[in-house]
A and B are shown apart, each in its own frame.
Chain A
Amino acid sequence: MPLSAWIMLAFGALVLYGGLAVALAIAHRGRRRRRGSQ
């Protein structure tokens, strides 16, 4: 597989799964904060 295909694979995975991981981490932190304030 050419290097350009690997780069696009990494780019896609980073944006989608990296973005999803960040969003889930924010949601998790938000839930902990809400629990703490109750």
Chain B
Amino acid sequence: MQPQRDRWDSRTAFIMAAIGSAVGLGNVWRFPYVAYDSGGGAFLIPYFLALFTAGIPMLILEMGLGQRLQRAAPGAFGAIRRPLEWFGWWAAGLSACIVIYYSTILSWSWSYLYHSLELAWGAHPDAFFSELLQRTELQDFQQGRGTLGLPVGGLVIGMALTWLTIYLILRRGVRNVSKVVLITVPLPLVLLAVLLVRGLTLPGAIDGIRYYLTPDFAKLKDPAIWLRAYGQIFFSLSLASGVMIAYGSFRARDAEVTNSALITGLANCGTSFFAGFAVFSMLGYLAQVQGVPVAQVTNSGTGLAFVTYPLAISQLPALNALFGVIFFITLLTLGVDSAFALQEAFTTGLHDKWNLSTERLARGFVLIAFPLSLIFTTRGGYYWFDIVDKWICDFGLVAAGLGQCVIVAYLYRSEDFRRWLNGVSEVALGRWWIHALRFVTPLVLLWILVMNLRTELSETYGGYPRWATNLAGWGTLALCAVVGCVLWRLGRGRRAIDALANREE
């Protein structure tokens, strides 16, 4: 007999955990820049369209599928068609890879948190960032020199702290997560509010906000902007990696789905929108201090979080160290709940199939993942991180999302699924939801995939050598496929999945 499945303490805990998983570092360092660069306030139009036609329908699909089948992605897809269990493992494998490289950003954040006490980056955060990582020069990396090397001590400590935190949170399962998210989800919002108030009271802040919001409707004629809006929604909601399926599986089968997905999606995008004010008010101030236009200090990705924003902090008139600490605690709390959610997506699949204890899974995963993640703390680690991130996001997750849509919309009884969702939910779903899953989302994802492939074939990403992108990019995706195949074929737990499939029939 199957033991009782772990459950969330309450619906609030589930929604908080889902928001924590969706709201990550990308909300702070990617959305504001993408919005500014894609037409400012006008970007909100394609962004909201993407949220309601792809983001929320996919969230409903994932949360609903996990809850209805009471299984993480491998078991859930295996219940739809037995061979599709492999696809579920592949998606879960992607989430395992993401948490392994994502921990790198958290290790940088730990280091920066320590160094922010004395504002060690001073007036040259760019040089400090390279020095902290002891990063190999790109030209050397291109020629095959300094591609690995020994892990950098400071980053290893940050990495160890990250994995220890993840282990301590996950070792007692979702009941423990239910309590942790009540702190890790609201805390970064409060800290962002503190940074926003500080930012808005600085001279030049309004110039930054103007840059962020002033609409340029002409940009909406460019199809690439619409593509970007769908991409931003898709990545920021933690879709396709199996996280929401695993989280949904820990709810009672008759729990509410649709409105919970709506709350999660809106809270995630609301955080991005809000973070934009905290970021751009500070950038407006930095631009005024340096006497340059806001466009010249604006940056995206790691550049914004670890170079531009720290520079703005060190230029503050007072309490610089305090705001440095606040900013890096914000990054850590934003990142940690996304990290343990990703790990949970993979380990719940293992738990479902082999009924292993939560504590053993958490310990085993950390013991394997921690040494692997040390690759990203070596001198060439930054470049490996960049390549793996690019391939998993641009190819892996897009393909997984596309597969997920096609499987549920065409191979699963989607109309029956919609009726079931309406039976348990507070908000009724119309047939538009099925159309969104059958046509809008797969077409957009296919478009994104083709465009990404075309770009990759025409030019090498980031100037990296082909052998490096083949090894770390395509190699990681292939490794996930092989590991997925092995886990699928390891048959001990197949009876459970077969039984589940029979029950569904």
Contacts and interface: CB of A to CB of B under 8 A. Distances in A.
B273 interface: yes
7 contacts: A8-B214, A9-B41, A12-B273, A15-B44, A15-B48, A16-B273, A23-B259
Given A8-B40, A8-B42, A16-B266, A1 B210 contact: yes
Interface in A1-38: 1-2, 4-5, 7-9, 11-13, 15-17, 19-20, 23-24, 26-27, 29-31
B269 interface: yes
B266 A27 contact: no
Given A2-B214, A8-B40, 18 more contacts: A4-B41, A4-B214, A5-B40, A5-B209, A8-B41, A8-B44, A9-B41, A12-B41, A12-B44, A12-B273, A19-B262, A23-B262, A23-B266, A23-B427, A24-B263, A27-B260, A27-B426, A30-B426
Contacts of A26: 259, 426-427
Contact of B256 (A9, A15, A27): A27
Interface of A: 1-2, 4-5, 7-9, 11-13, 15-17, 19-20, 23-24, 26-27, 29-31
B215 A5 contact: yes
Contacts of B213: 1, 5, 8-9
Interface string B139-175: 0000000000000000000000000000000000000
A16 B215 CA distance: 18
Contacts of A19: 262, 266
Contacts of B215: 4-5, 7-8
B485 interface: no
Nearest to B43: A8
Given A5-B41, A9-B213, A27 B270 contact: no
B259 A30 contact: yes
A13 B272 CA distance: 12
Contacts, number: 67
Contact of B44 (A1, A11, A24, A29): A11
B206 interface: yes
Interface in B1-56: 11, 40-42, 44, 48
A9 to B, nearest CB: 6
A18 to B, nearest CB: 9
A15 to B, nearest CB: 6
B219 to A, nearest CB: 13
Given A20-B270, A23-B262, A5 B44 contact: no
Contacts of B267: 20
A8 B44 CA distance: 8
B42 to A, nearest CB: 7
Given A12-B273, A26-B259, A27-B263, A2 B210 contact: yes
A24 B266 CA distance: 11
Contacts of A13: 273
A24 B264 CA distance: 10
Contacts of B260: 27
Nearest to B42: A8
A1 B427 CA distance: 38
Nearest to A30: B426
B48 to A, nearest CB: 6
A23 B256 CA distance: 12
Contact of B259 (A12, A15, A27): A27
B209 A20 contact: no
Nearest to B216: A4
A20 to B, nearest CB: 4
B305 to A, nearest CB: 23
Contact of B269 (A11, A16, A30): A16
A8 B212 CA distance: 10
Given A19-B266, A20-B263, A24-B263, A1 B41 contact: no
Contacts of B259: 23, 26-27, 30
B156 to A, nearest CB: 40
Nearest to B15: A27
Contacts of A31: 11
Contacts of A9: 41, 213
A17 to B, nearest CB: 6
Contacts of A24: 263
Contacts of A16: 266, 269-270, 273
Contacts of A1: 206, 209-210, 213-214
A24 B426 CA distance: 11
A15 B51 CA distance: 11
Contacts of A11: 41, 44
B338 to A, nearest CB: 20
A26 B262 CA distance: 11
